[in-house]
Homo-oligomer: A and B are copies of this chain.
Amino acid sequence: MVESSKVQKILYGGDYNPEQWPEDIWEEDMRLFKEAHIDIVTLNVFSWAQLQPSEDTYDFSKLDKIMELVQKNGLKVCMATSTAAHPAWMARKYPDILRTEKNGVKRKFGSRHNSCPNSPTYRKYASKLVEKLAERYKDYDNIVCWHISNEFGGECYCENCEKRFRSWVKDKYKTIEEVNRAWNMAFWGHTLYDFEDIVTPDLRSEEFEWDGIRTNFQGISLDYARFNSDSLLECFLLEKEILKKYTPDIPVTTNLMGMYKPLDYQKWAEYMDFVSWDNYPTYNAKPYEPALSHDLMRGCKNGKPFALMEQTPGVTNWHLYCSLKRPGVMRLYSYQAMAHGADTVMFFQMRRSIGACEKYHSAVIDHVGTSDTRVFREVSALGKELETIGSSILGARSKAEIAIVFDWDNWRAIDWSAGPSRLLNYCDQIKKYYYALWRNHYPVDIISVKDDLSKYKLVIAPMLYMCKKGYDQTIRSFVENGGTFVTTTFSGYVDDNDLVVTGGYPGKLKDILGIWVEELDALPPEEANSFIYKGTEYPAQVLCDVLHLRSANELAKYEKDFYAGAPVITVNAFGAGKAYYFATQSNDDFYKEFLSDICSECGVQPLLKCDEDLEVTERSNSNGDFLFVLNHSQEKKEFVLPYDACNLVTGTEYFKGKEIKISGKDAMILIKK
């Protein structure tokens, strides 16, 4: 990630907020960081109020002290810009800085991440602050990256945003006639005659009468989501430009949040020097879920290693039930991040706050204030391991032959769709397909619809409801050239504006798949159809297409209802490749079988053949090929090594065919000989 001569190892540290503490404990912090092998701190995340006590006053004295302190102690710095929470005086004096919520309620000062991205005040003073920061600290050679704002997010529906949305729409569509076409405004007589007629799509307008998820005009809501994401991205870019003026060589990032619907991270990542993100799996997350998020985040930047900017060393405070990370789990999750492409291991946070809403979120230094805690010991032990690992894996890349397509607009369009079923859940479908591959140890890339497919043997696009302009051709070429493509029910329906492609579903994918979907049946949760695949009966749930074969062949058919006998799995030979279609949704066992068969058929091999509780990935760079093996179970497991290798941390050497034992919750990196 942080490609810099300053960085020679996996950076290890996290958010540090000394300004929340009396200065007399700062030295103790330094001592404890050393004990924990910490080498980087993220500073200045929420200090705007301190740095700018009033409209005309700036005060960097405390930050100066902190910078001297951490430099003196040999710590690298991820330097935040403090623009994620505006000062109280600003909210009072310039209410335009406050957001208006989806229900029309104007916010007051409070909380965070609540500046209107289109507020002139916000942009003016954020720029001014960043300019001062960049100018003042540009020569500190321990600053390894800039961290703009924090967890950009949310939406605003204020009058400023409404005005700017009109401009955004005008820039995009040029004429009001084109807007009417794109949003299908003839429906319900919504035809516009002037850009001024456009209002924000919210609970006062097009999203009224629904359940807070769906909307009347998906086209407007989609464009507003794009506009909102772009507005926040503009704020990011405004700061980035200033930073680059002063420190062109220091990479710039902001911390992303995995599957976060409001921001199209695949677009954002284009503008970030490297991706960084915050990983907070819930208490009941399955191990493959953060794995998927890591792969998604890595995929946003074309596979480039990323930074794990935040994770909790022990407990996350905002979940419903804040269970402890069990012994070894913090290390296991840290290895999991590295296994999927992270080149840092960082925590939120270094010292646990004593007041406000994150005081029950754990930290490297707990409220007790000593190093005599389980969490500190685990942090320290991992720190030592990372020192041993050194620079070996830095920059190493994954090589996947399988890609799963993920698209933010598609996600939004499915969520906002008024029909066919409230059980539709795009991310869950992505998870189902991902999990089927993960548990069999196939490496996967999560890609966008802009990414090149030619390097993959197998491309899976679950519920590709929105097939964006040209993407059918991308898939067509891929399959024609020998690729294997898999898609599912509710694919190919609409264009970029959520307008249905007439002429029969799945729209422009019809020829590639060799089918025509005549009808789409939505089943309530208590009902299921079924089908038999390779002798086993599986459920057909949620959606069931009633389809007709054109050039495709049938691999399975429905067992029940009036469409009993109709095809439910099809395959179409197309050019040199094949296109599979799965006309419904099923259970995990099915996806596992189905994708294993397809992988075999297109010649994709798993990294290892071993227990499902073991997670296996591989990263490679000029130092070699690194095999990561993680045991997510509590029990000891074995696997057989496919080649000679050496444990990167312990130095133990193993020969091909060796049955290696790995303890419960343990993780290891093996370098191929």
> A residues near B, CB below 8 A?
17, 19-20, 46-50, 53-54, 82, 85, 87-89, 91-92, 101, 103-112, 114, 183-194, 196-197, 199-206, 208-209, 214-219, 283-284, 314-315, 317-324, 326-327, 352-361, 366-369, 373-375, 417-423, 497-505, 516, 518-525, 546, 561-562
Contacts and interface: CB of A to CB of B under 8 A. Distances in A.
B355 A184 contact: yes
Given A502-B354, A502-B369, A521-B324, A199 B109 contact: yes
B358 A108 contact: no
Contacts of A498: 355
Contact of A317 (B106, B191, B420, B525): B420
B418 A190 contact: no
A532 to B, nearest CB: 23
Contact of A188 (B54, B326, B356, B499): B356
A610 B321 CA distance: 40
A540 to B, nearest CB: 13
Given A187-B46, A214-B357, A368-B518, A323 B524 contact: yes
Contacts of A206: 110-111
Contact of A191 (B87, B218, B356): B87
27 contacts: A20-B187, A50-B189, A88-B191, A88-B192, A101-B208, A109-B197, A109-B199, A183-B355, A184-B354, A218-B356, A219-B356, A283-B524, A284-B524, A317-B419, A322-B420, A324-B520, A324-B546, A327-B562, A354-B500, A355-B499, A355-B500, A360-B420, A368-B502, A369-B503, A373-B518, A374-B546, A375-B519
A199 B106 CA distance: 13
Nearest to A110: B205
Given A367-B504, A368-B516, A204 B105 contact: yes
A557 B265 CA distance: 48
Contacts of A318: 418-419
A321 B423 contact: yes
B88 A190 contact: yes
Closest 10 CB pairs of A and B: A184-B355, A110-B205, A360-B419, A317-B419, A88-B197, A46-B189, A357-B418, A49-B191, A368-B504, A354-B500
Name the residue among A49, A192, A353 with the largest chain B CB count within 10 angstroms.
A49
Contacts of A354: 184, 499-500, 502
Contact of A217 (B214, B284, B356, B366): B356
A200 B209 CA distance: 21
A202 B463 CA distance: 40
A314 B519 contact: yes
Contacts of A373: 518-519
Contact of A85 (B188, B193, B519): B188
A344 B366 CA distance: 53
B200 A108 contact: yes
Nearest to A200: B108
Contacts of A525: 321
A88 B368 CA distance: 57
A216 B499 contact: no
Given A321-B523, A368-B503, A355 B190 contact: no
Contacts of A317: 418-420
Contact of A219 (B104, B321, B355, B523): B355
A46 B188 contact: yes
A192 B92 CA distance: 11
B103 A105 contact: yes
A254 to B, nearest CB: 17
Contact of A205 (B104, B107, B204, B356): B107
Contacts of A423: 321
A518 B358 CA distance: 18
Contacts of A209: 111
B186 A50 contact: yes
Nearest to A191: B49
B283 A497 contact: no
A190 B89 contact: no
Nearest to A526: B284
Given A104-B105, A186-B50, A357-B216, A205 B111 contact: yes
Nearest to A497: B355
A350 to B, nearest CB: 14
Contacts of A101: 208
Contact of A193 (B47, B88, B184, B326): B88
Nearest to A417: B360
Contacts of A417: 360
A521 B196 CA distance: 55
B360 A197 contact: no
A47 B355 CA distance: 46
Given A418-B318, A524-B321, A111 B208 contact: yes
Contact of A419 (B201, B322, B562): B322
A633 B300 CA distance: 53
Given A111-B206, A356-B218, A190 B85 contact: yes
A354 B218 CA distance: 11
A87 B189 contact: yes
A355 B205 contact: no
B111 A353 contact: no
A465 B160 CA distance: 45
A209 B355 CA distance: 18
A231 B282 CA distance: 41
Contacts of A360: 417-420, 520
A400 to B, nearest CB: 34
Given A105-B103, A110-B208, A187-B356, A89 B519 contact: no
Name the residue among A422, A516, A521 with the largest chain B CB count within 10 angstroms.
A521
A320 B522 CA distance: 9
A109 B205 contact: yes
Contacts of A562: 326-327
A196 B92 contact: yes
Contacts of A367: 500-505
A204 B419 contact: no
A367 B518 CA distance: 9
A236 to B, nearest CB: 19
